[in-house]
Chain A
Amino acid sequence: MGSLQLKTIRKAFGSHEVLKGIDLDVKDGEFVIFVGPSGCGKSTLLRTIAGLEDATSGSVQIDGVEVGHVAPAKRGIAMVFQSYALYPHLTVKDNMGLGLKQAGVPKAEIEEKVAKAAGMLSLEPYLARRPAELSGGQRQRVAIGRAIVREPKLFLFDEPLSNLDAALRVNTRLEIARLHRSLKATMIYVTHDQVEAMTLADKIVVLNAGRIEQVGSPMELYNRPANLFVAGFIGSPQMNFIDAAKLGDGEAKTIGIRPEHIGLSRESGDWKGKVIHVEHLGADTIIYIESETVGLLTVRLFGEHRYAADDIVHATPVIGSMHRFDADGRVIKSGKTGNGAPVIWPRPGI
Chain B
Amino acid sequence: MSKTRASLMRMGAVHAALIAYTLVALFPVFLTIVNSFKSRNAIFREPLAIPTPETFSLIGYETVLKQGDFIGYFQNSIIVTVVSIALVLLFGAMAAFALSEYRFRGNTLMGLYLALGIMIPIRLGTVAILQGMVATGLVNTLTALILVYTAQGLPLAVFILSEFMRTVSDDLKNAGRIDGLSEYAIFLRLVLPLIRPAMATVAVFTMIPIWNDLWFPLILAPAEATKTVTLGSQIFIGQFVTNWNAVLSALSLAIFPVLVLYVIFSRQLIRGITAGAVK
Chain A interface residues (CB < 8 Å from chain B): 47, 50-52, 71-74, 77-79, 81-89, 98-99, 102-103, 132, 146, 150, 158
Contacts and interface: CB of A to CB of B under 8 A. Distances in A.
Interface string B165-198: 0000101101111111100000000100110000
A321 B205 CA distance: 72
B171 A73 contact: no
13 contacts: A52-B178, A72-B177, A77-B178, A81-B171, A81-B174, A83-B171, A85-B171, A88-B193, A89-B193, A99-B178, A99-B180, A102-B179, A158-B171
Nearest to A103: B180
A87 B175 CA distance: 9
Contacts of B190: 87
B181 A72 contact: no
A282 to B, nearest CB: 38
Contacts of B180: 71, 73-74, 99, 102-103
A50 B175 CA distance: 10
B279 A87 contact: no
B177 A83 contact: no
B181 A102 contact: yes
Given A52-B174, A99-B178, 12 more contacts: A51-B177, A52-B178, A71-B180, A73-B178, A73-B181, A83-B169, A84-B171, A85-B169, A87-B172, A87-B176, A87-B190, A158-B171
A50 B178 contact: yes
B60 to A, nearest CB: 48
A121 to B, nearest CB: 17
Contacts of A99: 178-180
A99 B169 CA distance: 19
Contacts of B176: 87
B278 interface: yes
Contacts of B178: 50, 52, 72-73, 77-79, 99
Contacts, number: 61
Nearest to B279: A132
Interface of B: 169, 171-172, 174-181, 190, 193-194, 275, 278-279
Nearest to A150: B179
A105 B194 CA distance: 27
A228 to B, nearest CB: 34
Contacts of B177: 51-52, 71-73
A36 B174 CA distance: 23
A159 B50 CA distance: 68
A222 B178 CA distance: 35
Contacts of B175: 79, 81, 85-87, 146
Nearest to A158: B171
A280 to B, nearest CB: 41
A132 B179 contact: no
- DSSP majority for the B interface? helix
B279 A85 contact: no
Contacts of B172: 83, 85-87
The 7 closest A-B pairs by CB, nearest first: A73-B180, A102-B180, A85-B171, A99-B179, A85-B175, A81-B171, A85-B172
Contacts of A102: 179-181
Nearest to A131: B279
Contacts of B181: 73, 98, 102
A79 B180 CA distance: 12
B248 to A, nearest CB: 45
A82 B193 contact: no
A317 B174 CA distance: 50
A51 B180 CA distance: 12
B201 to A, nearest CB: 20
A73 B179 contact: yes
A99 B176 CA distance: 8
Contacts of A158: 171
A72 B179 CA distance: 8
A58 to B, nearest CB: 20
Contacts of A88: 193-194
Contacts of A86: 172, 175
A98 to B, nearest CB: 5
A46 B228 CA distance: 58
Contacts of B279: 132
A34 to B, nearest CB: 17
A98 B179 contact: yes
Nearest to B174: A52
Nearest to B173: A85
B278 A132 contact: yes
A77 B177 CA distance: 11
A158 B169 CA distance: 15
Contacts of B193: 88-89
A77 B175 CA distance: 11
A147 B275 CA distance: 27
A79 B175 CA distance: 7
Contacts of A103: 180
Nearest to B176: A87
A222 to B, nearest CB: 32
B278 A82 contact: no
Greatest chain A CB density within 10 A among B172, B175, B278 is at B175
Nearest to A152: B178
A77 to B, nearest CB: 7
Given A132-B278, A132-B279, A85 B174 contact: yes
A77 B179 CA distance: 9
A91 B148 CA distance: 42
A243 to B, nearest CB: 45
A86 B190 CA distance: 10
A315 to B, nearest CB: 47
